Amino acid sequence: MGGRLLWTPSRERVEASALTAFARSVAERTGRAFDSYADLHRWSIDNRGAFWSEVWDFCGVIGDKAGEALREDGAMIDARFFPDARLNYAETVLRPEASGEAVVFRGEDKVERRLTHDELRALVSRLAQAFRGAGVGVGDRIAGVMPNMPEALAAMLAAASIGAVWSSCSPDFGERGILDRFGQIEPKLLIACDGYYYGGKTIELGAKLAAVAAALKPAKTIVVPYLQQAESVAGRIDGGIALDDFLAPFEAKPLSFERLPFAHPLYILFSSGTTGVPKCIVHSAGGTLLQHLKEHRLHCDVRAGDRVFYFTTCGWMMWNWLMSALGSGATLLLYDGSPFHPDGNALFDFIASEKASFFGTSAKFIDAVRKAGLSPRRTHDLDPLRTIASTGSPLSPESFDFVYSDIKADVHLASISGGTDIVSCFVLGVPWLPVHEGEIQGPGLGLAVDVFDDTGRPLRGGKGELVCTRAFPAMPVGFWNDASGERYRAAYFDRFPNVWAHGDFAEWTDNGGIVIHGRSDATLNPGGVRIGTAEIYNIVEQMPEVLEALCIGQDWDGDVRVVLFVRLAAGARLDEDLVRRMKGAIRSGASPRHVPAKILPVADIPRTKSGKIVELAVREVVHGRPVKNMEVLANPEALALFAEREELSA
């Protein structure tokens, strides 16, 4: 398979890219020239120690780079990168030479703020002193219930600077969802906003924060004034204090950084599945920093002075990814709130007004803009925009086309895929390579990505499991409260011996790219043939009558039958003609095996707070089984629409 060519980078753009500068730097040191990206990638896999050492130097990591770059003795899970090095994530991200604007923040149409690098460093300094004053030390946890605003960034950097471990979720999480996460890690401090704005509405958080703090019992709960109610909210919480009062005793002074081992924990992130209590995934300071710098500089071509915007919340790993762009000399553009308030142009208004050079979002957002009939290239000045990134779910071929026809013709469209498990990407954009319709351009440098069949053999054609066959720095340190490592090994290494199995259903293309067909635990298996749900979505969601779809496999008559649920556009009706056209399109566009046995209308489709549809939860409901961890859902009430459907009993 291979998609249609949509864009090719100009020779000038390739020459100006950091990837070209990096390849030349490596060539000078090693005496080896690289004729292609495949050649450079192969070298980065075969010489991982040397490669990651080059990344450290090229990206200007600040720290003590002592000893060997990689120590491994056979088992992938036991490999150690830079075992004798010492660094601090915040020291590199808060580069001492950085000046000018560091952060631009917009909270819908209610709030706009700007911070210079000096102002950001001053806030981080005061927070770090206050954290130490509150008894926080190396390895202690600080948890944030925060919008994507400057104080969240500053608190994270302050925590990192003193060796504390940061964990966060967005303020729209319910009480149970927050406690399911932070209750496992016992934070010493809780930092939260007094409320937030969404869709033009003001949401106050006082009662929820009081209940969460009462259950977690942190030493202090620091309340950030977003709605300007911090003092009143803090007064309702035992141990509560408004941010201004918390910082009052401390004047800004030069920052100090606790240099710690490369593998020292930086973040605790949480799995977002609905099959149990979220896993607490611990990520290292060194691995996160190196991987993010590599992705920003070499794969996204982020340059000093660029203005980088990823639409995300503090509950999605793309927030952690975005924050690291400061370390490449970029200004961060932060947006919090609904991307459709007051209309679907909200994010493009922000991009145009702030002259963003990089814009990242979800595949669902791009599809929603397409279906809304918007054409940003005709309504907005997007000339500075060089790169558009998409993740969260597979980007459909039609959305690829839409980006080039209606957002910008000359832009690097980078569909990327990885996840919370590695707080980064396995496959992503490559500035040297052309963009083909429906395809991710290639594997990340230093990552031995492959596709395996069920027996553990590499697949050059056909669909299989996305794997990584050699150790990489962004592998988690482990799971919290998993001292033996049993849960960690079971999550990634049980499927294939000594190989990371990521849980994505993937396929190499004839162009050397890759296509993700959905999560492998959500793949359909009628008659023993594995089918990716994304293949079906890419077909039916192009029909004007269908806003979005969700597909599951229902256990039926000793086999599995495909069931497709569709949310219809206003005025559309699921009559026999539409069902016939859907089945015909799926049969001709995919295969007869893909054709659903049942197609049913549904008023809403459940999704996580980061926008991912939850096929597994729907499958549980259809089979009459309980769904755990409902708090991860943005619209849990939608699950009731799938329960006890009479149409599924025959």
d(CA 495, CA 502): 10
Q: What is the DSSP string of 133-164?
A: HTT--TT-EEEEE--SSHHHHHHHHHHHHTT-
Peptide bond into 342 cis (omega under 30): yes
Q: Are 40 and 476 in contact (CB under 8 A)?
A: no
Instruction: Please provide the DSSP assignment of 489-524 as one string.
Output: HHHHTSSBTTBEEEEEEEEE-TTS-EEEEEEGGG-B
Is the pLDDT at 410 greater than 70? The verdict is: yes
Residue range(s) occupied by CATH 3.30.300.30 in the chain: 529-649
Q: How many residues does the chain have?
A: 650
Q: What is the architecture of the domain spanning 116-261?
A: 3-Layer(aba) Sandwich (3.40)
Per-residue DSSP letter, 105 = E
201/218 Cα distance (integer angstroms): 30
Q: What φ, ψ does residue 13 adopt, rounded to 5°?
A: -70, -40
* Token code pair at residue 470: 């050699």
Per-residue three-class SS string for 286-344: HHHHHHHHHHHHHHCCCCCCCEEEECCCCCCHHHHHHHHHHHHCCEEEEEECCCCCCCC
The candidate with the shortest Cα–Cα distance to 96, out of 247, 252, 250, 256, is 256
CA 406/CA 201 separation, integer angstroms:
30
Q: Name the amino acid, one letter, at 208.
A: K
Q: 596 with 551: CB under 8 angstroms?
A: yes
Bridging pattern class, strands 86-87 and 500-508:
unpaired
pLDDT of residue 543: 92
**Cα 206 to chain center, whole Å?**
29
Task: Answer whether 242's CB lies under 8 Å from 217's CB.
Answer: no
Task: Give dist(CA 635, CA 48) in Å, integer.
Answer: 43
Q: Which CATH architecture has domain 529-649?
A: 2-Layer Sandwich (3.30)
Identify the band that residue 353 occupies on the pLDDT scale cut at 50, 70 and 90. Answer: very high
Is the torsion defined by CA of 338, 152, 393, 106 positive or negative? Answer: positive
Element (H, E) at 239: none
- pLDDT of 273 higher than 60: no
Average of per-residue pLDDT values in the chain: 94
Q: 1 pLDDT band (50/70/90 cuts)?
A: low
CATH 3.40.50.980 residue window(s) in the chain:
116-261
What mean pLDDT is predicted for residues 397-414?
97
Compute CA distances 465 → 275, 450, 502, 547, 561, whole Å: 21, 8, 7, 29, 22
Residue 461: how many other CB atoms lie within 10 Å: 11
Looking at residue 456, what is its pLDDT?
95
pLDDT digits (tens, 9 = 90+) for 556-583: 877 788 899 999 999 999 999 999 999 9
Residue 29 has pLDDT above 70, yes or no: yes
Range in 75-79, 114-118, 393-397 the model is least confident about: 393-397
- Give the pLDDT of residue 260: 98
| Closest C-alpha among 611, 486, 497, 593 to residue 548 | 611
Q: Model confidence over 238-260: pLDDT tens digits?
A: 999 999 999 999 999 999 999 99
The DSSP bridge partners found for residue 556 are 559
The confidence band for 594, taking pLDDT boundaries of 50, 70 and 90, is confident
Contacting residues for 39 by C-beta, under 8 A, at least 6 apart:
none
Q: How far apart are CA 209 and CA 200, in angstroms?
A: 22
Token readout for 593 is 């095996």
Can you tell me the distance from the alpha carbon of 261 to that of 244, in angstroms, rounded to the nearest whole number? 33
Percent of the chain with pLDDT over 90: 81
* CA separation for the pair 174, 343 (Å, rounded): 26
pLDDT of residue 48: 97
Confidence of residue 274 (pLDDT cuts 50, 70, 90): low
In one-letter notation, the amino acid at residue 147 is: P
- Please say if the pLDDT value at position 628 is more than 90: no
Pairwise CA distance, residues 20 & 92, whole Å: 23
**In which order are the strands placed within the sheet that holds 514-519?**
449-452, 464-468, 500-508, 514-519
- 494 exposure class (CB count in 10 Å sphere: 0-12, 13-18, 19+): exposed
What is the token pair recorded at 225?
Answer: 């004034």
76: DSSP letter = G
Taking the mean position of all CA atoms in its chain, how far away is CA 9? 25
Residue 633 in this model has a pLDDT that exceeds 90 = no
Does residue 76 contact residue 500 with C-beta atoms inside 8 Å?
yes
- Which of 157-166, 265-274, 351-360, 451-460 has the least mean pLDDT? 265-274
